[in-house]
Each structure stands twice: as C-alpha cells, then as structure tokens.
Amino acid sequence: MSLTPDEVKTIARLARLAIGEQDIQQYARNLSRILEFVAQLDQADTRDVVPMAHPLDMAQRLRSDVVSETDQRDLFQQNAPQVQAGLYIVPKVIE
Amino acid sequence: MEWETVIGLEIHTQLLTKSKIFSGASTAFGAPPNTQACLVDLGYPGVLPVLNHEAVRMAVKFGVAIGAQVAERSVFARKNYFYPDLPKGYQISQYELPVVSKGSVEIELEDGTSKRIGITRAHLEEDAGKSLHEGFEGVSGIDLNRAGTPLLEIVSEPDMRSAREAVAYMKKIHSLVRYLDICDGNMQEGSFRCDANVSVRRKGEAKYGTRAELKNINSFHFVEKAIEYEIARQIELLEGGGKVVQETRLYDSKKNETRSMRSKEEANDYRYFPDPDLLPLVIEPAFIEAVRKTLPELPDAKKQRFAEHYCLSSYDASLLTASRALADYYEAVVKAVGGEPKLCANWVMGELAAALNRDNKEITESPVSAAVLAGLIKRVLDNTVSGKLAKDVFEAMWAGEGDADAVIGKRGLKQITDSSAIEKIIDEVMAVNPEQLTGYRGGKDKLFAFFVGQVMKASKGKANPQQVNELLKRKLAG
Amino acid sequence: MLTQTLAELSRDLKARKVSSAEVTSAYLARIQRFNPQINAFITVLQEQALAEARAADARIAKGDAHLLTGVPIAHKDIFCTAGVKTSCGSKMLDNFVAPYDAHIVTRLKQAGSVLLGKTNMDEFAMGSSNETSFYGPVKNPWDSTRVPGGSSGGSAAVVAARLACAATGTDTGGSIRQPAALVGLTGVKPTYGRVSRYGMIAFASSLDQAGVIAYTAEDAALLLSVIAGFDPRDSTSVDRPVPDYAATLEQPIRGLRIGVPREFFDPGLDRRVAEAVQTALSIYKKLGARVQDISLPNFGLSVPTYYVVAPAEASSNLSRFDGVRFGHRCGNPVDLMDLYTRSRGEGFGAEVKRRIMTGTYVLSAGYYDAYYLKAQKTRALIRRDFLEAFTHVDVIMGPTTPTPAFRLGEKTDDPVTMYLNDIYANGVNLAGLPGLSIPMGFVDGLPVGLQIIGNYFDEARMLGVAHQYQRETDWHRQVPKGFE
C-alpha cells in the first residue's frame, strides 16, 4: 500500500491539517510505510470472527434525566480564543 | 411525458427530556447563549458521554407506537465532520444498528383511502448548536446551548408520491409524537424539523431517479412548497436533457426556491465507526413491555373509536383526533353535555376552531374551557338561547365575559319560549302589516317567510323559531 | 529520605518523624536542581505544593490522615487539573487551563497527596520515547543520551530521578509499562474500566487506561487502591468493588502458574533481556511457582492491529481541537477551512499528524472494511488467545521491551521501528487486561523490565506476584548515578 502525494493531500484536507508542500513527500513515505506494515492483517483468517469494539462485554449504563449542570460559561470561555456576547466567534459560516 | 415523484422524509424530533442526551445540562429553550452548554456539550478534552435513560424510553415508546422492532442491542457511532456548531468534530448518532427499525404509519389520502408509509428506522442522536450571523461583520457567533439535545431521527421509506402525501405523513408523525408526549412539536423553535429526499422518474420506471436532499423546511406549508418547487425543477432539468445531481439543497422560503448548499458537499466521507466512549445499548424485553403499558390511545385507534362511539364521520373524527389535547377537549365537552356528540363536534370544529385559528392559539390556550363550552351547548339544548344567538354568547365567553349563563343574563339573550309572549308579538306584527296579511291569506304562501322574519326581528332574535313557526301558521290562517 | 519508598515515607509521615512540608520542600529543591538536566516537568507547582503540604501536615496532626496524606506526587500532563495548565505535551494546549479535575486527580487530592507538578509526555501520548513532546524530549536519568520511554516518559523520569515519590501515567499501548521498564521502576496499567477515564485527555478511548509509576509494587498497590473504582461520569467505568491491594501482597505464591508465551522470544528480543527474564523466572520457581510454556498464536498481529485501532480512534478524538472553544488558534484565519487546517496544522506535531492521517485513512470510505473492521476482528483473536491462556495459567510473564533504552533520535526516522518497541505491550491493551512492569536487572548499565500480565480485574494477584519478587531482589532500590 503506497500513498501518493495527492492522496496525502486529500487525507490531510479531510482531517483538516495544513501540511507544508515541502513535507508532503515525507508524510507520503511514512504513511505508506505504516499502511504497508498494518496490511499484514490481511493474512489473518478472521472468518466468523465477531468484530470487537470494546475490551469488556458490558452494556451501556443509563443516567437518570436530571439537570445537574449549572451555568459556568465565563469559566469555560476563559480558554476560548475569541468570544463576543457569550458566543464563540469564527470566520463567517456560509451555508 | 408523465413523471412520478418519489419522496422520503427524515424527520428530526427533539425529545422532551429535561437534560441532554449525554450530559446533565438543561434542554430548556431560549437561554442566553452558551449558558446551557456544559463541558460535555462543549467537547472539552477529557469529558465523556453518559446516556440519558429518558431519551431511550422515549425512543422505545415511539418504536412500540409504530409497530416497529425495538433493537435488543443498538450501537452509537461517531459521524465525523468539521463544522463550528459541532463541538467534538463528530456527532454521536446511531448508524448500523438503530434502536428502532421497520415500523409504519397510515396516512389518509384526499380521496378518503389510506396509505401505509414505511418507517425504515428511528435512531437516537445528539443535536448540534447554532451559528448566528446577524449583527456580525464577516464572522459568525456560535451558540452551543442546543448541542447535545436528544433527537430521534425518523427516516421513512421512499413511499410518498406527492407533496400532499409528504405533508400528510409529516402531520401524522407530528400528531403521533405529541400524543406520545415525547416531543412538543414546536416547529418555530426547531423541535420538529424535516429534510426531504426528492426524486422524479418516468412513470413505469423501476429505478429511482437521482435525489436531492432538501434541508431546512420547517413548516407543513413550506414542505409542500419546497417539494413542489423541487419536483418542477427536476422535471424541467430532465426534460431539457439535463441531469439531476445528488446534492443537498436549502429551501429559501422567502424566494420559494431551493438552492445548492456547497458547504455541505465538501465533507461527505463521515468515517462512521462505533463510539468507543459508549457501550452497546441493550434493551431488555421487560423494558419494552413496561413502556408499552404506558402508551396512550393512539390517533388511529382514537379516530376509529370517535367515529363509532360518537357516530361521527371519518372526516370529523380525524379532525377531532388531530391532537391529543383537542380530542381530550372534545371528549370533555361531550361528557359535560351528557351526549349530543354531533352537536358538540360542530361547536368544537366550528366556532372554537375558528376562534383559535383567528387568534393563533393552541387548544390548550383556549380561553373557553371544555366545561364552559358545554355549558353553552346545554343552554342551546334546553332552548334557553337560540342557536344563532349562541354564537354571540360564544364570542362573549371568548372575550372573557363569563360563562354562558352570565353572558345570557347580562345581555338579555334568553330565548322567548312563552307562547303568549310570542303570540303577542305575532299579533303586533300582523296588525302593522295588513297588506301582507291579506296577500298571504289570498294564497301568497311565500309571504310566510316575511312574517317569520318580522317576528324574529321584533323579538331581537330571541323568540324560539320553532314556536314562532307553529304559532304563526295558526294565527295567519286566521 | 528521598530514597524511601512511598510506603516508607507514608509511615514516617504518619509517625510524624518528618513533615510533609519538609519532604515537599526537599523534592521541590531537587526539582529545581535536576529537572533542567532531564526536562521531565512541564509545570512545577511550587506554591501550591507547599500549601497542600501544610494542609496535609494539619490533617496528619488532627489524626484523620490517609496513607497518602502528605505524599508528594506528580501527574502526567494528560490529566486535567483545575486552574492549572494541562498541555498534553502539545502546542495545541500550551495555553489551556483545565476548568476541572480529572477523576484520579480528585481521588488523590481527597487522599491528601501533594501535587508537585505536571510531567512531560509524548504529544497526546503518541510516542514511545518522549521525543514527540512540544516541550522537548525527556532524558533518561540512567543515561542522558537515551530516551526514558514514552509516552509517560516524564512521569517515569521524575520518579527515577527522585523528583517525586510516585507519578500517574496513562497506558494506551504500553505508555506506563515501557517507560517504567526503561528507567527501572514499577509501572502498573490496570484492567480497562478499572480506573475512570474522566478528565484524562483521550488518545484511543477503547485502549486508554490510567495507572501509576512507583518504586515498588507495594507503592503502586497503595496508589491503585485510591484511584481505582467506579465513576458514573465514564460509561466504560466498571462498577465493581475495589479490593485493598496492599492487604494481599504477602500472600505466598507457591503453586502459582506462570505462563511464558514462546512468541515473546522472537528475533527482535535482545538476548540479554531474554536471559534476564529467565533469571527472574528462576526466582519465581525458587518461590514455588510453576513456569509453563504457552502460546499466543496471534501475538504477531498485535502491533499492526494496534496501529489501526489506536489511530482510528485518535483521529476522531482529536477533532475537537479546532481552534474554536479552546486551544491553539492560527492568526487571522480567512475562512473556516483556513481556521481549521492552520490551527490544527500548527498546533499538532508530526507524529500526531501522522496518526490522525493514518486513522482518517483507515476509517474512510472504501478502506473501512479492509483496515478498521479487519483490525476489530484481529483484536478479537488477540483477546481470545489471552482468555484461552488464562484458563490454565494465573499470570503471564515476559519481557516488557525488546531492548533497554535506546538513544535519543535513534528511532525517529522510521515510525514502524519505533512502534515495534511496544511489541510486548500492545496486545495487553487490545485485550483490556491489567499488566505491570518491574525492574529485573540491567543490560549495559541500563534497567530492563519484567512484564507481568494478569487476568481481568486480577490486579491484586498481579501486584502480589510482583511484590514477592521485590522481596527477593533489590533492583527497585537502585538509584541512577548523579541523582543519589
């Protein structure tokens, strides 16, 4: 499995990562190496194997429908890069 | 060329829980921005989702109500995409294994027949926040109060063939979720939202045409308009030799048109995978049975009962059962009156519905309670007030002037049923209209109506019309 | 004083032979002196630590002290600490002050421990050498040209250098056991679900587990008894009573069945490390344990499986870092796409980007079945092998790492070479089992570790088995030169 620089750019865009043009080749090389390595899994016989998503066979626990949170906007927004009138500010969202 | 339209709807209903689907923040509408967004809703590093019991119960309730399968084991997945109103960069939703699948509802068509609309699935997911644009220059403001509000997304089969059918289906679901008390159905506040998948194909064609997904259609009226516009657009495109592109289109209600949403086209590789922060949702049969026991009488059953028990037409029964609150109101009126279901139905669907509609009020906000309306109907039945004047009494009650007896007393609208009093009026009318009397007695039968009118006018509408008729006949005959 | 174990210090504090203020001051002085050499702390909490120490002394004086009251510890900078910078080793969170405490932070605070600071780590816990940290690499106290392991390399280094009495860590694919082995300490990763993940910044949610790095199994037992237990804020937290792990340490191990997987003794394993394992096993035999050869037939699949599952989950977990609500934001974004790509491009380092891209790829349309779904199945095979093994053995033993600590920069060119350093560790996380590493000797003057893997929720036995070994040996008493 080998990734081309264009494929790397597509993945980087999907993952919203700006990658410098000068680094694309290196990422292509490294990612290809990783994908080649994990491609060994192909050889494993997994017929009739149930996929495993969690280490423990447990069921989801449910919480009761109670409002337990209070307004802590000011505290939480101390980490925000840009706020105005209690809103998080981002470049214009075009729909 | 004959075209056939194929429509499927995805309806997002906000569930009426107190807290969010995965956090303990309030779901109340209208709070100042971001004051109901806790760490979990904000997608803060390190915090984790825990599922709300009530959201599960409501989803099961819906599943049971539409005769669907409730999954013994369903799984929450992550739908990955970047958007500012989506704090974690993924939406927790159910993908491969939804909690509810394979149900159906019946809708009534205009010709009086009914049609079964399949419901492919209904799954639990979290709502996103909101982007606000007004009042900002070149930027948007993000409010995450709505983020994490529980949604039940109800996905229909592509079973609808016209905009009318789509609206009928949407109304059916709207009525059902309110009957079940799992959603307030408030479309202005976005508690009940609809996306429509619309395609057209040549009549007889087996394959579906390429569909467009219409977003943001948040009223019954706009659903019809948007779909009709989209059908026309697609047919025009195809007849002109063009092709329909599979895309998301936004309905603009001001311009009554749909337009392509480029922003949503970008990221359509959602990379769904099971959310490792949540475990499989296991629903035991006993849980389903317990929920089933809490089901209220559902619209279809209620409608049938109304038609049979109250001898109403199918049309009347379906109007009266459109919402549980209206049906309850009607039944309360009938009970208080002690019968006369048809007369009660006429009042509820006539004067009351007109007044509600005129003042843009819900049945629950009616200033005239079921007991008060029943009081008026009783006065009509015992001839205290004429049917005609009763309408004036109703308006006065609506305006807050008190119950029927109070209004009738205050305004002196009591019907005159005393024969001697009516005879007296008749005598006076006959005395001042000798010419007409002669004419009538000479064979001009049509003049009878003239005398009725004069007597009613002289009594200010209060004379009992039946008595007036009888007495007049006798007196005029001489 | 500073060569004492946590258990010994705890006894002295309780007996008021020494005050927490004295011990804390001494550690702070050592941090000031030695941390520049090893770069193991990201944040040192001088004032706060002294205040906590004084409060601890008051509590001890009142007589309501816990065993950990007054004990100075450090947290890996992956755990949220209210009002304190929590960077996760990343530029992305260089400006991030957590508004809340992680579950284990709360537990250890309630027990009265003193927090000295937050330790350096591989960025977002992605690494096996501590070289991916935005704050620069941590140096191994045994040899400053070598790595301390990762990702909990800072926690391992501060304890090894005696700059804290113990430290917390997280282990997604070996990140506690491997650094503990490379600096000569005891590192414990509990069963998945045993310790709440609440407040621990997620790397790969189905693999992440918090644990501790300490001098001895006894120290680890004391800490684990505090941090383990049910937390309703984590859906994967297990509601199951927590035993007093220290209480069962002295149980004799006569008759213990030790399984040694033959697959661990592969060509990649340093011969001298293999010999050290055999020497350790001979001590167990002397104590009456029965050592058996076992097989984990799908062992070879564990690293490739891990490098599909972990990046997949990470790619999604790290999507929340978008420059909107917290964390690094690029300067003057022209539009949303620019905001996202530059904030993330600038905020994340190369290894994190590689893993995000790997994870994005294996989950994307057309590749999901071949990679992610396949890995979920091979993961099931790996777990099945362990379950099968535990039907006839009580614990599994082998090396923690194939080699002692490697040189800084030695494995940074080829990611796969780096990944293979956790070859014996990854499978334990995939299965969700508890595992620990204890020092078992030296190779070329560098510590090497013995890995002990327990059955699900069998931490008490696992710790007891480790403790019995430490009663017979003094590897865990060794202090690196220059840090005595």
Of the partner residues A56, A60, A93, the one whose CB lies closest to the CB of residue B278: A60
Helix (H, G, I), strand (E, B) or coil at B342: helix
> Beta strand pairing status for C395-399 and C257-261?
parallel
pLDDT at B56 over 70: yes
Distance CA B58, CA B181 (A): 8
Tokens encoding C309: 């599952």
Q: Which of C206, C342, C378 sits opposite A55 (nearest CB)?
A: C206
Q: Which of A56, A60, A66, A68 to mutate to test the interface with B (most CBs of B within 10 A)?
A: A60
More confident residue, C403 or B255: C403
Instruction: Residue C100: list chain B partners with CB under 8 A.
Output: 39, 44, 46-47
User: What one-character DSSP code corresponds to residue B137?
Assistant: S
> Are C139 and C39 contacting, i.e. CB atoms less than 8 angstroms apart?
yes
Which residue in A16, A33, A63 is closest to C414 by CB distance? A33
C76 is catalytic: yes
Helix (H, G, I), strand (E, B) or coil at C480: coil
| Residue B265 pLDDT greater than 60, yes or no | no
Q: Which helix (H) or strand (E) holds B3?
A: strand B3-14
Q: At residue B38, what is the residue type? A: C
Q: What CATH number does the domain containing C122 carry? A: 3.90.1300.10
- The SS3 call for residue C217 is helix
Answer yes or no: is C63 within a domain. yes
Beta bridge partners of B14: B151
Strand intervals (E) in B127-182: 130-132, 139-143, 150-156
CB C429 within 8 Å of CB C240: no
Interface of B with C (CB under 8 A): 39, 42-51, 78, 80, 82, 84, 87-90, 142, 269, 271-273, 276-279
Amino acid at C382: I
Q: Using CA of residue B349, residue B352, residue B358, residue B361, what is the dihedral sign? A: negative
* Candidates C87, C151, C196, C437; catalytic one: C151
* Closest-CA residue of chain A to B251: A95
**Residue A75, domain member (yes or no):** no
Q: Is the residue at C186 inside a domain?
A: yes
- A27 to chain C: closest CA residue: C354
Mean pLDDT on B382-396 = 87
C96 lies within 8 A of chain A by CB: yes
* Partner C contacted by A6 (CB < 8 A): no
Q: How far is CA C181 from CA C78, C121, C210, C479, in A?
A: 20, 16, 17, 14
Task: Identify the structural domains of chain B with CATH numbers, from first to last.
Answer: 3-287 (no CATH), 297-411 (no CATH), 419-477 (1.10.10.410)
Classify residue C396 by burial, with Cβ atoms within 10 Å: 0-12, 13-18, 19+.
buried
E strands present in C237-355: 257-261, 290-294
From the list B67, B123, B58, the residue with the least C-alpha distance to B294 is B58
Q: Which residues of B touch A85 (CB under 8 A)?
A: 33, 141
Give the three-state DSSP class for B122. Answer: strand
Q: What is the pLDDT of residue B264?
A: 52
C381: in domain: no
Q: How many CA atoms lie within 13 A of C209 on its CB side?
A: 37
B447's tokens: 């003049």
Spot the catalytic one: C10, C20, C76, C315: C76
Tell me, what's the pLDDT at B420?
A: 87
**Residue C185 resides in a domain:** yes
Nearest CB to B78: which of C233, C316, C321? C316
CATH number of the domain bearing residue A22: 1.10.20
Which of C129, C152, C175, C237 is an active site residue?
Answer: C175
Distances (CA, A) of C393 to C245, C259, C291, C299, C433: 21, 6, 9, 17, 14
Residue with tokens 């993940």: C197
| Structural domain contains residue C198 | yes
Domain that holds residue A17: 5-43
Residue C237 is a catalytic residue: no
For residue B23, the chain C residue with the least C-alpha distance is C233
Chains in contact with B, counting 3 or more C-beta pairs less than 8 Å apart as contact: A, C
B173: nearest Cα among B346, B159, B229: B159
Please give chain C's pLDDT, 484 residues, in tens: 678 999 999 999 999 999 999 999 999 999 999 999 999 999 999 999 999 999 999 999 999 999 999 999 999 999 999 999 999 999 999 999 999 999 999 999 999 999 999 999 999 999 999 999 999 999 999 999 999 999 999 999 999 999 999 999 999 999 999 999 999 999 999 999 999 999 999 999 999 999 999 999 999 999 999 999 999 999 999 999 999 999 999 999 999 999 999 999 999 999 999 999 999 999 999 999 999 999 999 999 999 999 999 999 999 999 999 999 999 999 999 999 999 999 999 999 999 999 999 999 999 999 999 999 999 999 999 999 999 999 999 999 999 999 999 999 999 888 999 999 999 999 999 999 999 999 999 999 999 999 999 999 999 999 999 999 999 999 999 999 999 8
Query: Could you read off the pLDDT of B174-221 as tens digits, one per residue?
Result: 999 999 999 999 999 999 999 999 999 999 899 999 999 998 788 899
Whether the predicted pLDDT of B268 surpasses 60: yes
Compare B314 and C309 and report the one with higher pLDDT. Answer: C309
The answer to whether A49 contacts C99, with C-beta atoms less than 8 Å apart, is: no
Strand (E) or helix (H) holding C452: strand C446-454
CA C338 → CA A78, A90, B85, B137, C343, distances in Å?
23, 11, 16, 18, 8
User: Residue C345: which of A19, A31, A75 has the nearest Cβ?
Assistant: A19
Using pLDDT thresholds of 50, 70 and 90, give the confidence band for residue B263. low
CA distance C54 to chain A (A): 28
Inter-chain touch C357–A27, beta carbons under 8 Å? yes
* Model confidence pLDDT, tens digit, residues A40-91: 999 999 999 999 999 988 999 999 999 999 999 999 999 999 999 999 999 9
Contacts of C68 (CB under 8 A, 6+ apart): C6, C10, C108, C111, C112, C113, C222, C223, C226
Asked if residues B45 and C80 have their Cβ atoms less than 8 Å apart, the reply is: yes
When scoring A14, A66, A67 by the number of chain B Cβ atoms within 10 A, the one with the most, hence best to mutate, is A67
**CA dihedral of residues B87, B90, B92, B97 (deg, nearest 10):** 170
Q: What six digits make up the tokens of B187? A: 């479309």
d(CA C11, CA C218): 13
Average pLDDT over residues B262-267: 54
Could you list the residue range(s) of the whole structural domain that residue C15 is in?
6-256+406-477
Q: Classify residue A26: in a domain, yes or no.
A: yes
Q: Do A72 and C99 touch (CB under 8 A)?
A: yes
| Contact (Cβ atoms closer than 8 angstroms) between residue A55 and residue C432 | yes
**pLDDT number for residue B252:** 87
Number of domains in chain A: 1
Comparing alpha-carbon positions, the chain B residue that sits nearest to C206 is B276
Neighbours of B95 (CB within 10 A): 18
Closest CB to B24 among A66, A77, A90: A66
Of the residues B15, B16, B279, B282, the best mutation for testing chain A's interface (the one with the most A CB atoms within 10 Å of its CB) is: B279
Q: Is A77 on the interface with B (CB under 8 A)?
A: yes
Separation between Cα atoms, residue B208 and residue B100, nearest integer Å:
25
Q: Which residues of A touch B52 (CB under 8 A)?
A: 62-63, 65
DSSP state of C195: B
Instruction: Measure in Å the smallest separation between the Cα of A60 and chain B Cα atoms.
Output: 4
- Distance in Å, alpha carbon of C352 to nearest chain B alpha carbon: 16
H/E stretch holding B70: strand B69-70
Give the span between the Cα atoms of C381 and C12, in whole angstroms: 48
Cβ contact, residue pair C198, B271, below 8 Å: no
Block residue for tokens 């106290």: C141
CB-facing half-sphere around the CA of B332: CA atoms within 13 A: 15
Q: Which of C191, C442, C458 is nearest to C450 (CA)?
A: C442
Q: Is residue C201 part of a domain?
A: yes
Percent of chain B with pLDDT over 90: 71
Segment (H or E) for C344: helix C336-347
C 219-278 near A (Cβ less than 8 A)? 232, 235-236, 238-239
The token pair that represents A42 in the structure block? 């192909």
- Condensed to tens digits (0 to 9), the pLDDT of residues B144-166 reads 999 999 999 999 999 999 999 99
Is there a contact between B119 and B107 (Cβ–Cβ < 8 Å)? no
Domain assignment present for A92? no
- Chain C residues whose CB is inside 8 A of the B50 CB are 232-235
SS (H, E, C) C83-139: CEECCCCCHHHCCCECCCCCHHHHHHHHCCCEEEEEECCCHHHCCCCCCCCCCCCCC
pLDDT at residue B267, as a whole number: 53
How many Å is the maximal CA-CA distance in chain A? 58
Q: Which of A16, A57, A65, A74 to mutate to test the interface with B (most CBs of B within 10 A)?
A: A65
Instruction: Provide the pairing of β-strand B69-70 with B100-108.
Output: antiparallel
CB A4 within 8 A of CB C328: no
pLDDT at residue B1 in the model: 66
Report phi then psi at B380, rounded to 5.
-70, -45
DSSP B79: E
Q: C316 — alpha (psi -120 to 50), left (phi > 0) or beta?
A: alpha
Confirm whether C175 is a catalytic residue.
yes
Whether A55 and chain B come into contact, CB under 8 Å, resolves to: no
C413 located within any domain = yes
Structure confidence at residue B25 (pLDDT): 98
Q: Which H or E run includes C456?
A: none
- With tokens 């017979």, the residue in question is C472
CB pair distance less than 8 Å for C348 and A17: yes
Of C156, C143, C149, residue with least CA distance to C185 = C156
Cβ separation B89–C322 shorter than 8 A: yes
Q: How many structural domains compose chain C?
A: 1
